[in-house]
């Protein structure tokens, strides 16, 4: 290379570096990395190659408001909180129930919706109320609140699955007596499988929120600000209504 063109090339590289026109990487400041477990319709699930759902749309709205690009990392459910804790992800949005023990590892934003744990049974089951779970074989998704609650039921055997629908499959095959899982995914799974129903009485009520790293108060405050705008404008309800048809 001639000296003149070398200088020119060097200047161009410097300009590109300074203006940030180079290729963006995921750790760049304007990418919002969301850890989730896309096995949880209608909050996060695959539609072809794409991960869609209520949580995805809420995260997208937050990224838009913050002028950031959303990047979704699909992982095992029991890795979602760790990803946020270790900084692999900026936010955990996975139908995450706010719990005191989780608050030891991450912070939660304000809640964006209320939820519940319910019990799925076979239509001919003798389980009629939550108390009937005593001594039964219960399927759950590993690391979920359903897992934690099932563990407390006396004499019950807990079967842990990587995915919620695997627990439901196992119930259909008669390998377990019930599944404890969040209400909306339960409704989806029951509608997709013959011979199942949901016990009328809910097991527990919960609140979903977004997890952020404990020291990231700045991001938490920003997200709370956006969430409150999404609530006031009706946009949050609009997103929820798009995926959950009121009964």
**Interaction site with ligand ARG (CB under 6 A):** 36-37, 39-40, 44, 77, 94-97, 141, 144-145, 182
Determine the Cα–Cα distance for residues 151 and 141; give it in Å rounded to an integer. 12
Give the C-alpha distances (Å, rounded to integers) separating 80 from 51, 139, 204, 236: 15, 20, 22, 23
SS3 breakdown of the chain: % helix, strand, coil, rounded to 5?
40, 25, 35
Determine the Cα–Cα distance for residues 179 and 119; give it in Å rounded to an integer. 6
Q: Which is nearer to ligand ARG, 6 or 46 (CB)?
A: 46
Q: How far is the CB of 58 from ligand ARG (least distance, A)?
A: 13
Q: How far is the CB of 28 from ligand ARG (least distance, A)?
A: 26
Q: How far is the CB of 39 from ligand ARG (least distance, A)?
A: 5
Determine the Cα–Cα distance for residues 246 and 18; give it in Å rounded to an integer. 52
Contact yes or no for 43/181 (Cβ under 8 A): no
Q: How far is the CB of 25 from ligand ARG (least distance, A)?
A: 26
Beta strands in 80-143 (DSSP E): 91-92, 107-122, 137-141
Q: Which is nearer to ligand ARG, 57 or 182 (CB)?
A: 182
Q: Which is nearer to ligand ARG, 225 or 243 (CB)?
A: 243
> In a 3-state reduction of DSSP, which class is residue 152?
coil
Q: Which is nearer to ligand ARG, 37 or 223 (CB)?
A: 37
Q: Which is nearer to ligand ARG, 110 or 229 (CB)?
A: 110
Beta-carbon count within 10 A of 85 CB: 18
Q: How far is the CB of 14 from ligand ARG (least distance, A)?
A: 45
Q: How far is the CB of 4 from ligand ARG (least distance, A)?
A: 58
Q: Which is nearer to ligand ARG, 207 or 229 (CB)?
A: 207
DSSP 12-79: HHHHHHHHT-S---TTSTTEEEEEE-SEETTTEEEETTEEESHHHHHHHHHHHHHT-EEEEEE--HHH
Q: Which is nearer to ligand ARG, 108 or 127 (CB)?
A: 108
Contact yes or no for 191/86 (Cβ under 8 A): no
Determine the Cα–Cα distance for residues 198 and 230; give it in Å rounded to an integer. 31
């Amino acid at each position: 290379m001639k000296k003149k063109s070398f200088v020119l090339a060097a200047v161009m590289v410097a300009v590109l570096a300074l203006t940030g026109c180079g290729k963006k990487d995921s750790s760049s400041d304007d990418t919002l990395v969301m850890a989730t477990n896309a096995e949880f319709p209608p909050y996060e699930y695959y539609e072809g190659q794409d991960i869609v759902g209520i949580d995805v749309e809420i995260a997208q709205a937050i990224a838009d408001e913050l002028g950031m690009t959303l990047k979704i990392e699909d992982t095992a459910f029991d890795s979602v909180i760790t990803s946020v804790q270790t900084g692999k992800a900026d936010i955990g949005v996975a139908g995450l129930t706010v719990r005191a023990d989780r608050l030891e590892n991450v912070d939660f934003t304000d809640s964006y919706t209320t939820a519940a744990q319910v019990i799925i049974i076979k239509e001919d089951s003798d389980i009629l109320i939550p108390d009937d779970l005593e001594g039964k074989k219960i399927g759950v998704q590993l690391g979920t609140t359903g897992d934690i609650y099932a563990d407390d039921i006396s004499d019950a055997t807990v079967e842990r699955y990587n995915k919620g629908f695997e627990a439901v499959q196992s119930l259909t095959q008669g390998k377990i007596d019930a599944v404890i899982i969040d209400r909306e995914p339960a409704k989806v799974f029951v509608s997709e499988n013959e011979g199942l129903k949901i016990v009328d009485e809910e097991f527990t009520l919960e609140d979903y929120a977004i997890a952020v790293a404990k020291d990231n108060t700045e991001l938490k405050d920003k997200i709370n600000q956006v969430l409150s705008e999404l609530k006031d404008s009706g946009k949050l309800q609009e997103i929820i209504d798009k995926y959950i048809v009121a009964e």
